Amino acid sequence: MRYELFIALRQIRARKFQTILSVGAIALAVMVLTVSQALMVGFTDELYSTTVNKLPHVSVSPQEDEDYIYLYRTLVDNIEKIEGVSTVSPFLTGKASFRFKTNSYNAELKGVLPLKENNISDIETDMVEGDFRDLEYSRNTIVIGSKLADKLEVNPGDSVNVSFPNANPLSLRVVGIFHTGSPLDESLTYISLDTAQEFYNVPDVINGLSVRLEDFNRDREVAAKIEKTGYKARGWTETNPEILRTIAIETTSNNVVLGLIVVIASFGVVSALNLSVIGATSQIGMLRAMGATISSIRTIFVLQSGILGLLGALVGTLTGVAVSLGIGQYEMPAASSELYGGLTTIPIVIRIGDILVIILAVFLLNLIAGIYPAQQAAKLDPVKSISSK
């Protein structure tokens, strides 16, 4: 062991109270940073899970001045051949009026191929009653959202009357109810594509395609390729820019606040080291008189700062991980769960990469912060230092 490291460790052990305060300040800052990062990543993952993963990554519309997409099967085949496309789901959607006994409400009626649609929106995981795939096996059936079901006061097995101007009125049997925790529960219903074409009296056409990608970050690239076929295509980042905006604002404000917390904690270390320089003036003079170089004195104090930073980062990280896991176990009250879109626990994601980056960043920041007091110690005159006590 080089003697600079030995002296640095001895100084840290000798000044226990200052060491505890310095390590505690950094640990507290790192703990806040770790917990906040785990919450931020959990929140972002949850946001992607409840929005982007249930949205079509690319939406395809009819050509200019057209209301429908004709010969859509050929278009589906062509889009499925594009690299990165995992599923293409055709749909025919429009407004409709629903009546059950004396209750009547308007909502969106979406005709789909159930298997394809489930690959896009994962709607089967949101079913609270019945089976979404029943739409495949029986005509004149419908799956509706939970809030619309409450308003109409219908249950699985009941038949609702569906009508709309210029459409063929139908009586549809409810075979399932879904609950997403979003406004779709009140505004969206599903029927089979064939039934929708019969209802709107537009055989063998659709008015849109939903496309799911293997990597949702490639939405604009794939949309540009689809537009070469002559149809309008827009990625989810264009149709739902508020999702990206929300994540960007949250991440930026979070990082700025947490960065300032760590910087403030590092200033605490600088302050402690400055006091250490003042308190060890005579010892520094003796070391210089015994032959220690200016570089060695500087190294001793930089090492002290780095060691304090590393200890604080390790203690803070462990504490932060424990606190994060504890927060992740907290179960939300039933009323709050509904308010937060069906969440039953607070989303927490702890990534090893984040932990390593936090430890390394705090260690390096404290090494840099230790340069000033180290420089002050190195500049002390040996004769004046020895005679100062």
Q: Which amino acid would we find at residue 129? A: E
| Main-chain dihedrals φ then ψ at residue 138, nearest 5 degrees | -145, 135
Pairing assessment for the beta strands 170-178 and 208-213 based on DSSP bridges = unpaired
- Mark which of 174, 207, 230 sits at the end of a domain: 230
**Is residue 380 included in any domain, yes or no?**
yes
Q: What pLDDT is attached to residue 114?
A: 92
Q: What pLDDT is attached to residue 343?
A: 67
Angle value at C-alpha 47, between 44 and 53, nearest 5 degrees:
115
Per-residue pLDDT of the chain (389 residues; tens, 9 = 90+): 577 788 888 877 877 887 888 788 888 888 888 888 888 888 888 877 777 777 889 999 998 888 899 888 999 999 999 999 999 999 999 999 999 988 999 999 999 999 999 989 888 988 999 999 889 888 889 999 999 999 999 999 999 999 988 888 999 999 999 988 778 899 999 999 999 999 999 998 999 999 999 988 899 999 999 998 889 999 988 887 777 777 777 778 777 777 777 777 667 667 766 666 666 666 677 777 777 777 887 888 888 888 888 888 899 999 999 999 998 887 776 655 555 656 678 888 888 888 888 888 888 887 887 787 777 777 767 666 666 55
Q: What pLDDT is attached to residue 194?
A: 92
**Is residue 238 included in any domain, yes or no?**
no
Pairing assessment for the beta strands 85-100 and 103-112 based on DSSP bridges = antiparallel
* In a shared domain, residues 219 and 136: yes
Matching residue, tokens 């859509």? 72
Closest by Cα among 274, 328, 329 to 301: 274
- Mark which of 167, 197, 230 sits at the end of a domain: 230
**Is residue 120 included in any domain, yes or no?**
yes
**Is residue 305 included in any domain, yes or no?**
yes
Closest by Cα among 376, 389, 287, 337 to 3: 287
**Is residue 237 included in any domain, yes or no?**
no
**Is residue 302 included in any domain, yes or no?**
yes
Closest by Cα among 309, 306, 343, 308 to 328: 343
DSSP-based helix, strand, coil % in the chain, nearest 5: 60, 20, 20
Structural domain including 373 reads 3-52+244-387
* In a shared domain, residues 11 and 89: no
Please state the domain count of the chain. 2
* In a shared domain, residues 76 and 197: yes
* In a shared domain, residues 48 and 67: no
* In a shared domain, residues 263 and 356: yes
* In a shared domain, residues 104 and 226: yes
Closest by Cα among 311, 282, 308 to 380: 282
* In a shared domain, residues 300 and 214: no
Q: What pLDDT is attached to residue 148?
A: 93
* In a shared domain, residues 326 and 378: yes
**Is residue 236 included in any domain, yes or no?**
no
Task: List own/partner pairs for 275-280 with CB under 8 A and 24 or more apart.
Answer: 275/18, 276/11, 276/15, 276/18, 276/301, 276/304, 276/373, 277/301, 277/373, 277/376, 277/377, 277/380, 279/15, 280/11, 280/377
Q: What pLDDT is attached to residue 141?
A: 94
State the Cα torsion 92-231-244-86 to the nearest 10°: 70
- Count H helices, E strands: the chain? 17, 10
* In a shared domain, residues 143 and 79: yes
What is the Cα–Cα distance from 230 to 223, expressed in whole angstroms? 11
**Is residue 294 included in any domain, yes or no?**
yes
* In a shared domain, residues 48 and 69: no
Closest by Cα among 87, 330, 325, 318 to 211: 87
- Mark which of 230, 261, 284 sits at the end of a domain: 230
* In a shared domain, residues 42 and 85: no
* In a shared domain, residues 205 and 90: yes
What is the Cα–Cα distance from 87 to 76, expressed in whole angstroms? 9
Closest by Cα among 350, 331, 321, 342 to 40: 350
